[in-house]
Amino acid sequence: MTIRNAAIALLLCCTACTPLRPRVSLVPGASLKNYRVFVVRPVTDETGARFNLDVSDSLRQAIAKRLSSHGLTVVADVPAEDTAPPALVISSALVGFKGIPMWLQVPSRGVTGCELRTVLRDGRTGERVGEMAAAELSEEHSPLMVLVRCAYIMADEINRRARS
């Protein structure tokens, strides 16, 4: 087991014990309160798993849908500099997956988990505002639902920080 896999396994085990909010690291003095538009970029898949669905697009859609459900203005495939109000650019990567990637819709026996990392950038300046990491671990849900829940956790935290 590589160090990275061990770290992912440890993170997934920790999230199984206690429901945690995502880890958030904002640049000193940064806040998400002033952003009125949220640009959700395509999610990259860094797991190397061979999924039977386009998880990158599914995760991008899940983040955008969840942010919209909170009443936030979400755009995709629009240059952030073209938005009139201040825009926050959300770029995410699926960096960890445990489960059966070829049967995403079928509930699997055993534990399914994921880890999603996100970089937040100011749409006008391109400067990094912060980064986040979310993980989900479940024995009850299909692998696809675990991935979607991971995206929802991320979007919920962005919403919380934008409104607090």
The predicted-structure confidence for 134-162, as pLDDT tens digits, reads as follows: 998 766 667 778 888 999 999 999 999 99
Tracing tokens 């849900």 back to the chain, one arrives at 141
The predicted-structure confidence for 108-141, as pLDDT tens digits, reads as follows: 666 677 899 999 999 989 999 999 999 987 666 6
Tracing tokens 């934008």 back to the chain, one arrives at 162
Task: Tell me if the pTM is above 0.75.
Answer: yes
Region of residue 99 (phi > 0: left; psi between -120 and 50: alpha; otherwise: beta): left
Phi, psi (5° rounding) for residue 128?
-70, 130
Contact 119, 91 (CB under 8 A): yes
| Third-level CATH fold of 3-163 | Rossmann fold (3.40.50)
The band of 107, judged by pLDDT with boundaries at 50, 70 and 90, is: low
Q: Where are the domains of the chain?
A: 3-163
